[in-house]
Amino acid sequence: MTVAELNLLDQPSFIGAIGWVFEQSPWVAERAWASRPFANLHALHSALIDQVERASFTERLALLEAHPDLGSRARLSTASTTEQSGAGLDSLTPPEFEQLHRLNTAYRARFGFPFLLAVKGSTKHDVLRSLQARIESSPEDEYREALRQVYRIARFRLEDLIAS
């Protein structure tokens, strides 16, 4: 699909095409639809981010909470499954899995949402190092960093979907 083709879609079709890009949060695409036409992928991504930034704190927190814990054995979206396996999170050793589970639990207890990292191009070791480092962040800093990671995840997903 191209950006030009997306620009021609009615709102339900637009949401159907890219509503999944922000994990279980089709409201982002629904609200961005009115900003068409998009000149390119960057403009589309920026319009989506703008809708998240305009959303209430409660909506943004729900967006963060919609993401699965990295390395979890829980039911994942197709996109999350592909992204996590690409980072080797589907092949953790038992000690690595235990470490990731322990850090995920501590992170969620500290911040109230799952650890978010755009894992494309990362290894399981990169993920564990990042989680260990970021658990020390302030709640305000980590909230903004989690949103930045969600935006990166969305960008990667759009790049995989949209033909240049």
Element (H, E) at 106: helix 94-111
Is residue 67 among the annotated active site residues? yes
Residue 26: both structure tokens together: 């089709």
Catalytic residue among 42, 45, 67, 101: 67
Cα separation of 83 and 21, whole Å?
12
Amino acid at the residue 131: L
State the burial class of residue 105 (Cβ atoms within 10 Å of its Cβ: 0-12, 13-18, 19+). exposed
Helix (H) or strand (E) holding 161: helix 139-161
Q: Which residues are catalytic?
A: 67
